[in-house]
Amino acid sequence: MKIICTLFITIIFSAAALATQPSIYGENGVVVAHDLEACEAGIEILKKGGNAVDAAVAVSYALAVTHPQAGNIGGGGFMLIHMADGQKVAIDYREMAPGQAHRDMFLDDSGKVVPQLSVRGGLAVGVPGTVAGLQLALDKHGSMERKKVMKPAIKLAQKGFTIPYDLAYSFGWLNKAAEGFDETRRIFCRDGEIYMPGETFKQPDLAKTLKLIQKKGNAGFYTGPVAEAMVKSSSKYGGKISSQDLMNYTAKIRKPVIGNYRGLEVISMPPPSSGGIALISMLNMMEPMVFDSVGWHSAQHIQMIAEVEKRAYADRSVWLGDSDYFDVPQDKLLSKEYATLRMADYDSLTITPSDSIYPLNDKDLAGIELIGQESEETTHFSVVDKWGNAVSVTTTLNWSFGSYVTVDGFGFLLNNEMDDFSSKPGEPNSFGLIGNEANAIEPKKRMLSSMTPTILAQDGKVVLIVGAPGGSTIITTVLQVIHNMVDFGMPVHDAVNVPRFHHQWRPDVIHYGPGSISPDTMVLLEAMGYELVPRYGYGEVNAISRDKIFGGWVGAPDLKTASHGAAY
């Protein structure tokens, strides 16, 4: 299909003359992340001669200090690396189920899911992976010692940083939500004396932990006093993590999933992330579509994308999980032939009800009703260096402030990632996502994720680094940023900051952000049979694209949130 010619692609990834002025430009390196302190930590490392991987490790540890809602050492995540020499690497440091975990651990005697058990307290905690993952990245692809890349984070924890409004607001919310979690309220809520915006927040306990990691690496976290305190603090609130679970944790190097969309190589995260496969599957379904005469966010446009999204999410519900435990049909899902088959019943003039879209033709799923609201407690950042090495990282505690369990004396929160398993296969988790047998709870298994760190390349060179938080909306958010750039010619700054919408198969509704669908378009969509539901919060996209006019890089933080960027 002749929609995008080479010239058009070139224009897309440039700062187009009529586009909004990009906020960040750098010739030697760019970092885009949730807060400025973390961005500056990464730039500091780049200026000292470190590469993008070194900077990414520095940014991640800094976020553990400045963004405790999601930045973490008590959680996990995924790192996607594209080295300038063409190496493509996915590092999986997703949390794991404890050895004592079992399939029915969140069910009562009658077989029903116990509300809140998988999201609050020690039983919700998976074995943390961040520290091991960052060390693996540094060992394999970094160029600096751990001692140097951790210095900015330790300084932030010791000397403190100015609390921005959004963090002060979150601390105030946590003061009420974390009742009964005394250590959490002591550190982050000052025992009820709420922090005000503009105050300085120091974390001596966290600084102590970071120094132990700086000195001993994984041994400073997964064994010794920190590990003992993790086991004790988790157990205090009903957790099952053991010292053996911590010693046995390993981060893994995996092969990225790779697709092609209109001549651009799409590189993304493989299982246990569902993001990469779902993203490439959707792009494959979209490739035969013609967008030349389609108005952006017109009724026709939204119908086209919504129908693609619901099919991919239907497949996600039963086909995706930890590939070490479940035989994921990855090649089939990534094939363009399968995309053609998946869209065989698509009609551009009508809606396909979700009840008639069957993953694996499993009609037993048709009657399931989903509940739950999406959260925004993941964080994503992107890094590029002067050599063209690029890193895309998404990391999380799951809910805001995770399980609310803070490790006594060491100043960091533990995740509540066990909720990302299927507590009962065929029933939704707290984000309204169904998981079937592929994502059932098993000891040492990694829970399914929607995180979608992604890199696009052309002729072997990186042209876009992108990702987002937002639970189930992560995948569609990344999809729409790519789609905005490739099919509608938007520069990265606009592609990131225009409104978005989302369909995840179940519930059978289109969620839309403020300003994303005009009133006239709503009437047309409703006449077609779509149910429209407003939604606030569609991730915090932090992206970087290559600038082909001036030769450097353009950073695009999501201005709808508190996102920032830095460059040099």
Domain borders along the chain are 6-25+277-374+450-567, 27-253+378-439
Distance CA 18, CA 8 (A): 15
Does 20 participate in catalysis according to the annotation?
A: no
Q: Is residue 500 over pLDDT 70?
A: yes
Q: What pLDDT score does 434 carry?
A: 59
Q: What pLDDT score does 361 carry?
A: 41
pLDDT in tens, 449-478: 999 999 999 999 999 999 999 988 999 999
pLDDT in tens, 517-531: 999 999 999 999 999
Q: Is residue 21 over pLDDT 70?
A: no
C-alpha 276, offset from chain centre:
11
Q: Is residue 347 over pLDDT 50?
A: yes
pLDDT in tens, 154-189: 999 999 999 999 999 999 999 999 999 999 999 999
Q: What pLDDT score does 53 carry?
A: 99
DSSP β-ladder status, 532-534 and 510-512? parallel
Residue type, position 190, single letter: R
Write the CB contacts of 458 (distance below 8 Å, at least 6 apart in sequence): 9, 13, 263, 264, 265
Token pair listed for 498: 């225009």
**How are the residues of the chain apportioned to helix, strand and coil, as percentages rounded to the nearest 5?**
40, 15, 45
Of these residues, 66, 184, 378, 394, which one is catalytic?
Answer: 378
pLDDT in tens, 37-50: 999 999 999 999 99
Cis peptide before 272 (omega within 30 of 0): yes
Q: What pLDDT score does 15 carry?
A: 35
**What is the crossing angle of helices 36-47 and 52-66, to 10°?**
150
Continuous segment of H or E residues that includes residue 455: strand 454-458
Where does the pLDDT of residue 423 fall: very low under 50, low under 70, confident under 90, or very high at 90 and above? confident
Distance CA 368, CA 353 (A): 14
Q: What pLDDT score does 359 carry?
A: 76
Place of tokens 């590939």: 323
Global pTM value: 0.93
| DSSP H helices in 145-265 | 146-149, 151-159, 165-177, 182-188, 204-216, 219-222, 224-236, 243-248
- From residue 476, alpha-carbon distances to 47, 206, 512, 561 in Å are 34, 35, 12, 18
Q: What pLDDT score does 231 carry?
A: 98
> Which is more confident, 507 or 262?
262
Where does the pLDDT of residue 17 fall: very low under 50, low under 70, confident under 90, or very high at 90 and above? very low
Instruction: Determine the longest span between alpha carbons in the chain, in angstroms.
Output: 65
The topology under which CATH files domain 6-25+277-374+450-567 is: Glutamine Phosphoribosylpyrophosphate, subunit 1, domain 1 (3.60.20)
Per-residue DSSP letters for 380-398? EEEEEETT--EEEEEEE-S
Q: Is residue 373 over pLDDT 50?
A: no
Are 153 and 65 in contact by the 8 Å Cβ rule? The answer is yes
State the average pLDDT over residues 13-33.
69
Q: Is residue 12 over pLDDT 70?
A: no
Continuous segment of H or E residues that includes residue 278: helix 275-286
Q: Around Cβ 369, how many Cβ atoms within 10 Å?
A: 9
Q: Is residue 427 over pLDDT 90?
A: no
Provide the 3-class DSSP secondary structure of residue 464.
strand
Place of tokens 């001669």: 49
Where does the pLDDT of residue 3 fall: very low under 50, low under 70, confident under 90, or very high at 90 and above? very low
Provide the 3-class DSSP secondary structure of residue 456.
strand
Where does the pLDDT of residue 22 fall: very low under 50, low under 70, confident under 90, or very high at 90 and above? low
- Specify burial of residue 202 (Cβ count, 10 A radius: 0-12, 13-18, 19+): middle
Are 127 and 414 in contact by the 8 Å Cβ rule? The answer is no
Q: What pLDDT score does 428 carry?
A: 67
Are 286 and 305 in contact by the 8 Å Cβ rule? The answer is yes
Q: Is residue 360 over pLDDT 90?
A: no
From 562, 557, 567, select the one nearest 494 (Cα to Cα).
Answer: 557
Cis peptide before 507 (omega within 30 of 0): yes
Continuous segment of H or E residues that includes residue 161: strand 161-162
